Chain A
Amino acid sequence: MKKDDILSGCILIAVSIFFLRESSFLPPSSLGIPGSAFFPRLMSIAFLIFGSVLIIRSFKKGGAERKTDLISKQDLIRVGAVILLCGICIFSIPFLGFIFTTILFIGFLMLMFQVKRIEIIILWSFFITLIVYFIFKILLKVPLPIGTFFS
């Protein structure tokens, strides 16, 4: 049986149930004209069908077993760490501001990727932050956050 099909099927069914429940609070159709809930319900029912098809299909004889894991544990940790770092960056920007957060963000990313030379990490962090700041703040006049800590 195909593990990714089972997982996919379960996710689709879960999403379907969630959106079917949420769309039950929306006004129904009237006089034969679809209301606000029509399309979301249609898509949710389709998800229920697709999810069921994937799960049933995965148990059918002849389905190839996936020989390797979807992702190795090491790779998963690395990808998870990048996502976590992005999350920390987003939550830090209002407090520490764009410049400080970005320098730290780039630095930590490069440490995670095992860039060995510390001077490259420092130089690259400052260089990229400066370029991006110049393009967005000075040229494009995007008001990048200063941060409550520094304001």
Chain B
Amino acid sequence: MDLLVKGLLSILVPKVLLLNFIGVGAGIVVGALPGLTATMAVAILVPFSFGMNPISAFALLLGIYAGAVYGGSISAILINIPGTPAACATIFDGYPLCQQGKAGNALAWATISSAIGGCIGVIFLIFLSPLITKFALRFSAPEYFSLAVFGLAIIISISGEDLVKGLASGFLGILISTIGMDPIRGIPRFTFNQVYLLSGISLISVLIGLFGVSEVLSVTEKIFQQVYIVKQKIKITLPTWSEIKHNGGLIIKSGIIGTFIGALPGAGADIAALVAYNEAKRSSKTPERFGKGAIEGVISAETANNAVTGGAMIPLLSLGIPGDAVTAVLLGALMIHGLRPGPLLLTENPEIVYSFFASLFVANVLLIFLGILGARYFVKILYLSKKLLIPIILVLCIVGSYAVSNNLFDVKLTIIFGVLGYVMQKLNFPIAPVVLGIVLGPIAEVSMRQALIMSKGNYAIFFIRPISIILLILAIICLYISFKQRKSKTEVISSSQDH
């Protein structure tokens, strides 16, 4: 409790509050623009945090995270295009509400649901992180290897429609992570006599390239396509207290769903939103209203997607394993600010970690004010031409990746990974597993080799330790379920084509 109070007090300082506020505002702006994701927003804006202390830096970055996930609902409701993948379920009922002249009501509910969902996620984060950290302090090399395999299995099993391509993406990430010095033997691998590759590929360059530059190239393809916006005066109609109470059960249920899905490594806000939406529809007394402007559809999706922000931070701060792509970027940011992700983070830097909890909580509170007061102004962002936006984003990508270590080599890497990400998207390879492969690959390799040194080359060490074997079994189950689901989906599609 002391630490929580200290964390809150460290945030309630004008400079830090201002950074949190700017972060939420910037996040909403980026999130509202279709084609720009929360991951891109955080990745491109990480360089802005250089030179700040970790508390200020994360006040900014977590503000961006919370704002961007919510911001996607603005375009989802107004133009039927999710601003971020997290808003994919919001369009089902958000846009019909807009067409019925209730855009203001939908936006107000999206704002309040997002804020409450985010706060639910933070509450679980505060209570679960220390518990998981205590448990994880018992982990040794075999457990870390199995945990990395489990994390990869989850992300691969839920990414994209094709398991083979998902596996290839994850393994590509692991292969990329082997570039640089071998952490055990100290031998250079795949450096091709490039001095700058000895320390490996910069994670921030990869992230800015894969999520920033590749998205820009995708948007460039469709630059001349028109987007039609239903023109109506946006009048924010706040829900009454009794309406909020009436939907209280739905909000709490969706918040819990979002938090726990966010806590699974690799599962992001889009999945959480869809699961919560489907659950809300299933448990509703009038499911036929869903898809035609049921406000419960907007509430469930938006509560869940913002709850993910807290949930995804749980494995990041307690285990050093990102819960989604955004937290993979935050992991990079932690390392840049001299903090070592993992169970020791909370034990060695408790004040800093509790300040992160407080930042995320305050960001969700600020979201209510910015969302409600600023909605009619944020809407104007949608009228901004992509022809003006793309140059800004590309310049930020170039300068941002340069700023990591004042080196043009990192910029070249960013462009190369941008092209790679674009090609992967065209060939239907999911991108998120690459990032998690890069992050989890070194954990898996180093842990495996250390475990085998411990056991003098005996592979049984992974199967005789209870936590390790449980995680490996869970990984196999994940992949098997995913394979069966995809196989039955393919059979359904084939049989409908035969008819």
Contacts and interface: CB of A to CB of B under 8 A. Distances in A.
Nearest to A109: B391
B452 A8 contact: no
Given A8-B429, A40-B175, A142-B406, A47 B182 contact: no
Contact of A78 (B221, B441, B445, B448): B221
A15 B172 CA distance: 10
Interface residues of B, number: 62
Interface stretch (B44-52, B84-92, B281-289): B44-52
Interface string B450-474: 0011001110000000000000000
Interface in B406-430: 406, 408, 411-412, 415, 418-419, 422, 426-429
Contacts of A67: none
Contacts of B171: 43, 46-47, 50
Given A8-B429, A46-B167, A79 B403 contact: no
Contacts of A122: none
B185 A36 contact: yes
Contacts of B403: 136, 140, 142
Contacts of A110: 387-388, 391
The SS class assigned to the A binding surface is helix
B164 interface: yes
Given A12-B168, A46-B167, A79-B220, A26 B427 contact: no
B271 interface: no
B164 A141 contact: no
A136 B168 CA distance: 37
A44 B390 contact: no
A54 B164 contact: yes
22 contacts: A8-B165, A11-B427, A15-B175, A26-B187, A32-B456, A33-B457, A36-B184, A50-B167, A53-B164, A62-B494, A70-B426, A71-B426, A79-B220, A86-B213, A90-B415, A109-B394, A113-B223, A115-B387, A124-B388, A132-B395, A136-B403, A140-B47
Given A75-B221, A109-B390, A114-B224, 14 more contacts: A32-B457, A35-B185, A39-B445, A40-B175, A46-B167, A62-B497, A87-B415, A90-B408, A93-B408, A105-B394, A128-B391, A132-B396, A142-B406, A144-B399
Contacts of B422: 79
B4 interface: no
A-B pairs with lowest CB-CB distance, top 4: A32-B457, A113-B387, A36-B182, A106-B391
Contacts of A50: 164-165, 167-168, 171
B197 interface: no
Nearest to A34: B449
B187 A36 contact: yes
Interface string B212-232: 010011001101100000000
Contacts of A11: 427
Interface string A118-147: 000000110011001001100011111100
Contacts of B497: 62, 64
B174 interface: yes
Interface string A15-37: 10001001100110001111110
Given A93-B408, A132-B399, A40 B178 contact: yes
A44 B190 CA distance: 13
Given A47-B171, A87-B415, A124-B388, A140 B48 contact: yes
B483 interface: no
A129 B396 CA distance: 10
Contacts of A53: 164
Interface in B4-26: none
Interface of A: 4, 7-8, 11-12, 15, 19, 22-23, 26-27, 31-36, 38-40, 43-44, 46-47, 50, 53-54, 57, 62, 64, 70-71, 75, 78-79, 82-83, 86-87, 89-90, 93-94, 98, 102, 105-106, 109-110, 113-115, 124-125, 128-129, 132, 135-136, 140-145
A128 B395 contact: yes
Contacts of A143: 406
Contacts of A15: 172, 175
B124 interface: no
Q: In the complex, which of the residues A4, A26, A39, A53 has the most CB atoms of chain B within 10 Å of its own CB atom?
A: A39
Contacts of A8: 165, 168, 427, 429
Nearest to A31: B457
Contact of A102 (B168, B390, B395, B458): B395
B187 A27 contact: yes
Given A33-B452, A79-B220, A89-B398, A27 B387 contact: no
Nearest to A22: B190
B51 A78 contact: no
A72 to B, nearest CB: 8
A39 B167 contact: no
B134 interface: no
A78 B222 CA distance: 10
B131 interface: no
B449 A124 contact: no
B489 interface: no
B189 interface: yes
A58 to B, nearest CB: 11
B139 interface: no
Contacts of A31: 456-457
A33 to B, nearest CB: 5
Given A32-B456, A46-B167, A86 B394 contact: yes
A142 B401 CA distance: 11
Given A34-B449, A90-B412, A128-B392, A39 B174 contact: yes
A26 B452 CA distance: 19
Contact of B415 (A47, A86, A109, A124): A86
